[in-house]
A = this chain, B = another copy of it.
Amino acid sequence: MHAPSNTVLLPPLARRTDSRIVFLVLDGLGGVIGREPTALQRAACPNFDALAAESALGRTMMVADGITPGSGPGHFALFGHDPLEMDIGRGLLEAMGLGVEVGYDDVALRGNLCTLDGDGKLLDRRAGRLATELAAPVIQALADAIDEIEGVKVEVHAGLQYRFAAVFRGAGIDGHVCDTDPQVEGVAPLEARALTPAAEKMARIANTFAAQARAVLGERDVANAVLLRGISGRPPLMTYPEMAQLRPVCIAAYPAYRGVARLLGMEIREDVGPTSSLADEVASLEKAWDAGHDFFFLHVKPTDSAGEDGDEDRKAAVIEEMDALLPRILALKPDVLVVTGDHATPGPMIGHSWHPVPTLLWGPWCEPDAGTTFDEVACDAGRFGGRLPATALIRLALANAGKLAKFGA
């Protein structure tokens, strides 16, 4: 059977209703079965388990068997866009996440402040993870000094800690340019290279930008240069209002996830930010509940961070913290609730992995299965099986919410 594209399939079927869908995304939720117990197996989460008993379970595959997704592709798959059919750069996500508008003819990148030694070699790719308040004036100095290169307008915006985003606006630029970050220390930053002839101008501009930044910052001991990453344009992408008649809202603490949400046409709740707790996020959901939305994306970051650190106990503690907040979400009486992750981050692997992600769909017509715990093993044996394409989730959620008309007469 042909792999269905939601951008073709859903627009003619989608209809607006008052029913409300919550997508609770615990970043990096999944673990790997058969080694030590996974974080989900360690966590005591009576509320998730009770919900699982009334839900259809499965494990979702974001890209393809054996393919480890980055956070961007993972989220786009969850939201119904096939990651193999799109090309969303990390620079675009960073800029959009900081609230910077990026037009379809613009190019964005994310930058790191870094530290070079006297020979121009990298001492520290992140300038000692320079704190936000120390990095801000350094990035402001870049923004003040660099306005325009080859007739292209340059904007520099501070991010968290040593990170910044730059947006380039002007004629004839294309984002298909390699990173200047060599990913290792002890070597010089790379030249920006064009991947296509159309990107030659942007590659020159990126190199000029890096050289001018070095000229501005070169006298400093730390944070005396920049690394440029994720250089990317903004491809056309169907939004949720266009794809499914939804009026979506995003509750996410971190910029990249807000960037994904903005690209999908979601409104962004501004009452949460990097220092928000999970309880703050749930409070934001409560405030947004009666504000005319019908799709609520709630993103939980610390599960992934704990997995990246190899700390399954800390990851389990985050899951338990979310479990304790679940009754407040259920008290809102959503029509459909999905609990999932954007990829696995198994503690023993200290990073993302390709393993399908535990997923729970709760709704009026979800067909609960025999699973009564929310973990990898129960989900693998669940209604949707162990290899549910993640792009199917939004269709199942919309169907359960009564938001899809039938296909054909």
**Considering the chains assembled together, what is the distance between the CA atoms of A2 and B5 in angstroms?**
8
Check B406–A64 contact: CB distance below 8 A: no
Q: Which residues of B contact A384 (CB under 8 A)?
A: 65, 386-387
Number of interface residues of A (CB under 8 A): 68
Question: Would A84 and B409 be within 8 Å (CB), given that A32-B367, A67-B399, A404-B66 are in contact?
Answer: no
Q: Which residues of B contact A74 (CB under 8 A)?
A: 408
Check A68–B355 contact: CB distance below 8 A: no
Check B82–A2 contact: CB distance below 8 A: yes
A76 nearest CB neighbor, chain B only:
B408
Closest Cβ of chain B to A251, distance in Å, is 22
- Stretch binding the partner chain, chosen from A16-24, A321-329, A390-398: A390-398
Q: Which residues of B contact A2 (CB under 8 A)?
A: 3, 5, 82, 84-85
Check A407–B9 contact: CB distance below 8 A: no
**Considering the chains assembled together, what is the distance between the CA atoms of A400 and B404 in angstroms?**
37
Question: Would A65 and B352 be within 8 Å (CB), given that A83-B408, A385-B387 are in contact?
Answer: no
Of the residues B71, B82, B397, B408, contact of A69 by C-beta under 8 Å = B408
Q: Which residues of B contact A349 (CB under 8 A)?
A: 365
Check B407–A73 contact: CB distance below 8 A: yes
Q: Which residues of B contact A66 (CB under 8 A)?
A: 392, 394-399, 404
Closest Cβ of chain B to A377, distance in Å, is 10
A389 touches B (CB below 8 Å) = yes
Check A69–B406 contact: CB distance below 8 A: yes
**Restricting to A56-81, which residues have a CB under 8 Å from any CB of B?**
61, 63-74, 77
Check A407–B230 contact: CB distance below 8 A: no
Closest Cβ of chain B to A406, distance in Å, is 4
Closest Cβ of chain B to A364, distance in Å, is 9
Check A354–B70 contact: CB distance below 8 A: no
**Considering the chains assembled together, what is the distance between the CA atoms of A384 and B63 in angstroms?**
16
Of the residues B88, B394, B404, contact of A68 by C-beta under 8 Å = B404
**Considering the chains assembled together, what is the distance between the CA atoms of A407 and B164 in angstroms?**
23
Check B404–A67 contact: CB distance below 8 A: yes
Q: Which residues of B contact A398 (CB under 8 A)?
A: 66
**Restricting to A210-242, which residues have a CB under 8 Å from any CB of B?**
230
A272 touches B (CB below 8 Å) = no
A200 touches B (CB below 8 Å) = no
Q: Which residues of B contact A98 (CB under 8 A)?
A: none
Of the residues B64, B90, B396, contact of A409 by C-beta under 8 Å = B90
With most chain B CB atoms within 10 A of its CB, the pick from A83, A365, A408 is A408
**Considering the chains assembled together, what is the distance between the CA atoms of A85 and B9 in angstroms?**
11
With most chain B CB atoms within 10 A of its CB, the pick from A8, A230, A389, A394 is A389
Q: Which residues of B contact A69 (CB under 8 A)?
A: 406-408
Check A1–B1 contact: CB distance below 8 A: no
A364 nearest CB neighbor, chain B only:
B35
Closest Cβ of chain B to A371, distance in Å, is 12
A380 touches B (CB below 8 Å) = yes
**Considering the chains assembled together, what is the distance between the CA atoms of A3 and B5 in angstroms?**
11
Q: Which residues of B contact A85 (CB under 8 A)?
A: 2
**Restricting to A31-45, which residues have a CB under 8 Å from any CB of B?**
32-35
Closest Cβ of chain B to A358, distance in Å, is 13
Q: Which residues of B contact A4 (CB under 8 A)?
A: 63-64, 67, 84
A383 touches B (CB below 8 Å) = yes
Question: Would A72 and B367 be within 8 Å (CB), given that A67-B4, A385-B386, A395-B65 are in contact?
Answer: no
Residue pairs across A and B with Cβ atoms less than 8 A apart, 20 shown, are A1-B390, A34-B367, A63-B407, A64-B395, A65-B395, A65-B396, A66-B394, A66-B396, A66-B404, A68-B407, A69-B407, A69-B408, A70-B408, A71-B409, A88-B408, A353-B365, A353-B399, A355-B365, A385-B387, A387-B388
